[in-house]
């Protein structure tokens, strides 16, 4: 089962010709999940190797324009590229903070945008400590005046689960996806995508010794259930299975100057890939924090606390040109951001990567 | 006084890497006026020679996403590039169909977008015949729930002036700007920017003969007023002024399959530049009209009826690559759209130009 992450936009605040606004695609076999959708994401998607039509889930970390303004247009264009003959198109599930449903209903509604597929917006209810008070949306502003959009299906409202300090977005056969709280100028969330562990292989030699032949009983054991032999001996699944194959874990942080509560570190512990913003260099730490943002050192501290395998820095101020456009003597060098994170992670095993537009990172299966 | 038009996006339906979504800038000394603002316009602006900070007025032809989805982000980015020390920033005046005010209030409001300058939305009230019934927005959908955005100033509601079959947007020392009605899937408008005629030069030889010396009386005559000489002889302005210098006229049509009423042709008569959509070639006329669009022949008929000097075709289906990317054997050739319009205008004086992204057309002063 292949899995990879492609960065479509790695710039903060606004899109520019050299860095798109925030957007990232997690691809697993047959499906693309989009994380944030700044203006121009659809064009970045066209420039990439990915196919927009495959986007089945969208996650919006927070309602700043540089993470959101591309979403109505992206949905319209995915619809235009959908075959109208196709039946039973699956619902595009959209997750994000309260207010997102109203945003889409108004932008799609006023522009007369009909979609060929249904969509649903599942809203996360932020807590009052996720932003300064002026960053919080009143209930009046997010109240849904009027009926659902013609293609809108009712979405859920998801509240913080206090015991785990996280939001359960969904769980299916392959993944469990949760959100966690971040502090930013407006309420912001991170997302943790955890692939289920898979049972190890059957120890076939041992099974033969026990007199068990391939068949339904093998399936039972593989599914974790015990089997009773004719002799009356009970064979436990754990006896005959090799070590489980641990599921992969990808964590995508929204804009933040800090995590909130113990949910984030608990959820992201041992992440294969942890994507964190580093808007400005460490020398601008005060300004970064003032604006609700992080520096490489701050991102590194999170990755270290999570024992992440790989920290990917993204969401760079537009003052940092991509490495390929960097000229000798340029003042702001994005490579310096990588050095700062690496310095902070010197005595750890965390690998640091700089995101850039169109970079694809494979996430290999873990060896047990 | 220089004047020119720059195309920032010439593609229909959605932006692509080779054609931006609809946007055009009319530049006169010191000011930029933006016509339509599809997604990605701010990035196109950065790639162009123009400066976003100079945009003082915005005109939205209709509320389709490919003409609108870039506006919230553009306003935010213009604000980010505004010097916060600057006092008395002038109000950005925004004109467009009813619903635009609600669209901006919700998109800027939910994203917590504060602007450093005020803005006002002046809404044009469409008539019921500008689109099929399903393209009309209910009053409920455009009702403005909640207070004004913190930087929003109250805008006007502008109704059709039945006698001239047009909407008067504003008039200042240099220009009068009106809108006119078009038929499309949703109510659509065109804009006519008319520079005032300027008085001709003074016939200085003649004035000397009359015994008039340079001074305030010259100003009086130039302003069109009569002057009485000591002899009692009345000198009329018209006697001593050369022919007036006619003002230039630029007409920008929104998406349409036809004009509505006699306003459009009357207003656009003698246009120096008439920008009209030609989404699909004449061979796809039925499909074009079905979707509320025009073909080159249809655009040519409008330009001919207006006796325009120059017809600029734009808003091409994304199937038409720009000339520079055209390869031998490509089926859809944008040059063919030009030929079709030229064929239809064979026996006229209308010059045909194909718009392309970043094309700038100077609009020279007319000789009297
Ligand atoms: Zn951001
Ligand atoms: Zn943000
Ligand atoms: Zn259009
Ligand atoms: Zn349209």
Range scoring the smallest mean pLDDT among A80-89, A103-112, A150-159, B26-35? A80-89
B21 CA to centre of ligand 3 in angstroms: 8
* Minimum CA–CA partner of A99 in chain B: B110
Beta carbon pairs, A and B, within 8 Å: 128
A63 CA to centre of ligand 3 in angstroms: 27
Quick one: average pLDDT of B71-80?
96
pLDDT at position A78 is 93
B99 CA to centre of ligand 1 in angstroms: 28
Instruction: Name the band, by pLDDT with cuts 50, 70 and 90, for residue B368.
Output: low
Instruction: Name the band, by pLDDT with cuts 50, 70 and 90, for residue A329.
Output: confident
Contacts A16 to B, Cβ<8 Å: 43, 46
Helix (H) or strand (E) holding B31: strand B31-37
Contacts B66 to A, Cβ<8 Å: 73
Geometric angle at alpha carbon B52, from B47 and B55, rounded to 5°: 140
* Minimum CA–CA partner of B16 in chain A: A43
Catalytic: which of B66, B165, B255, B357?
B66
d(CA A304, CA A276): 12
Quick: pLDDT tens for A57-99: 999 999 999 999 999 999 999 999 888 888 888 999 999 999 9
* Minimum CA–CA partner of B144 in chain A: A145
Inter-chain CB proximity A15 and B42 less than 8 Å: yes
Range scoring the smallest mean pLDDT among A155-169, B98-112, B319-333? B319-333
Quick one: average pLDDT of B264-277?
97
Ligand (nearest to CA of B315): 3
Is the pLDDT reported for residue B30 higher than 80?
no
Domains observed in chain B: 3-81+90-197+245-362 (3.60.15.10), 204-240 (no CATH)
Is the pLDDT reported for residue B347 higher than 90?
yes
pLDDT at position B143 is 84
Ligand (nearest to CA of B317): 3
Is the pLDDT reported for residue B172 higher than 70?
yes
Inter-chain CB proximity B76 and A70 less than 8 Å: no
ipTM summary value: 0.93
Is the pLDDT reported for residue A320 higher than 70?
yes
B293 CA to centre of ligand 3 in angstroms: 8
Inter-chain CB proximity A77 and B102 less than 8 Å: no
Is the pLDDT reported for residue B170 higher than 90?
yes
Average pLDDT, chain A: 94
d(CA B84, CA B244): 43
Chain A contact for B228 (CB, 8 A cutoff): no
Residue of A52, A63, A65, A80 to mutate, testing the B interface (most B Cβ within 10 Å of its Cβ): A65
Tokens of A59: 């996650």
A291 CA to centre of ligand 1 in angstroms: 10
Nearest to B113 among A16, A65, A107 (CB): A65
Q: What are phi and psi of B193, to 5 degrees?
A: -105, 115
Quick: pLDDT tens for B100-146: 999 999 999 999 999 999 999 999 999 999 999 999 999 988 987 67
Tokens of A249: 């874990």
Inter-chain CB proximity A185 and B76 less than 8 Å: no
B215 CA to centre of ligand 2 in angstroms: 61
Inter-chain CB proximity A69 and B43 less than 8 Å: no
Quick one: average pLDDT of A21-27?
98
Which positions ≥6 away from A138 have C-beta within 8 Å? none
Instruction: Name the band, by pLDDT with cuts 50, 70 and 90, for residue A195.
Output: very high
pLDDT at position B212 is 86
Instruction: Name the band, by pLDDT with cuts 50, 70 and 90, for residue A145.
Output: low
d(CA A219, CA B108): 55
Chain A contact for B127 (CB, 8 A cutoff): no
pLDDT at position A213 is 84
d(CA A186, CA A192): 20
pLDDT at position A297 is 98
Report A:36-55 residues touching B (Cβ under 8 A): 39-40, 42-43, 46-47
Chain B contact for A325 (CB, 8 A cutoff): no
CA B327 to chain CA centroid, Å, is: 33
Strands (E), A90-174: 92-97, 119-124, 152-153, 157-158, 167-171
CA A307 to chain CA centroid, Å, is: 18
Active site residue A349: no
Please, what is the end-to-end C-alpha distance for chain A in angstroms?
15
Residue of A68, A78, A110, A325 to mutate, testing the B interface (most B Cβ within 10 Å of its Cβ): A110
Q: Give ion ligand 3 contacts, CB < 5 A.
A: B 12, 66, 255
State what percent of residues in chain B have pLDDT above 90. 78
Burial of B254 (0-12, 13-18, 19+ CB in 10 A): buried
Inter-chain CB proximity B16 and A43 less than 8 Å: yes
Distances (CA, A) of B339 to A37, B169, B297: 40, 35, 10
Q: In terms of DSSP bridges, do strands A157-158 and A152-153 run parallel, antiparallel, or are they unpaired? A: unpaired
Average pLDDT, chain B: 94
d(CA A339, CA A325): 18
């Amino acid at each position: 089962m292949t899995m990879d992450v492609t960065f479509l936009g790695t710039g903060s605040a606004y899109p520019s010709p050299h860095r798109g606004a925030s957007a990232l695609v997690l691809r697993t076999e047959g499906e693309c999940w989009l994380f944030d959708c700044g203006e121009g994401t659809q064009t970045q998607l066209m420039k990439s190797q990915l196919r927009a039509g495959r986007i089945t889930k969208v996650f919006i970390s927070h309602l700043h324009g540089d993470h959101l303004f591309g979403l109505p247009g992206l949905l319209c264009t995915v619809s235009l590229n959908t075959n109208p003959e196709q039946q039973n198109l699956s619902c595009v599930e959209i997750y994000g903070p309260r207010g997102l449903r109203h945003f889409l209903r108004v932008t799609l509604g006023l522009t007369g945008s009909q979609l060929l597929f249904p969509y649903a917006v599942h809203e996360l209810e932020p807590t009052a400590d996720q932003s300064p008070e002026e960053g919080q949306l009143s209930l009046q502003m997010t109240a849904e005046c009027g009926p659902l959009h013609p293609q809108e299906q009712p979405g859920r409202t998801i509240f913080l689960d206090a015991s785990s300090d996280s939001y359960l977005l969904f769980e299916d056969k392959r993944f469990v996806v949760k959100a966690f709280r971040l502090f930013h100028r407006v309420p912001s969330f991170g997302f943790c995508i955890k692939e289920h562990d898979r049972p190890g292989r059957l120890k076939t030699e041992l099974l033969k010794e026990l007199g068990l032949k391939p068949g339904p009983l093998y399936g039972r054991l593989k599914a974790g259930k015990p089997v009773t032999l004719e002799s009356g001996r009970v064979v436990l699944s754990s006896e005959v299975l090799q070590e489980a194959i641990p599921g992969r874990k990808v964590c995508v942080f929204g804009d933040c100057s800090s995590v909130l509560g113990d949910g984030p570190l608990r959820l992201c512990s041992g992440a294969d890939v942890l994507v964190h913003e580093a808007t400005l260099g460490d020398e601008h730490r005060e300004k970064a924090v003032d604006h609700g943002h992080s520096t490489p050192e701050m991102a590194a501290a999170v990755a270290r606390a999570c024992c992440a395998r790989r920290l990917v820095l993204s969401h760079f101020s537009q003052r940092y040109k991509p490495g390929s456009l960097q000229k000798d003597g340029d003042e702001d060098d994005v490579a310096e951001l990588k050095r700062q994170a690496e310095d902070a992670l010197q005595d750890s095993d965390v690998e640091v990567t700089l995101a850039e537009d169109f970079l694809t990172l494979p996430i290999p299966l873990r060896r047990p």
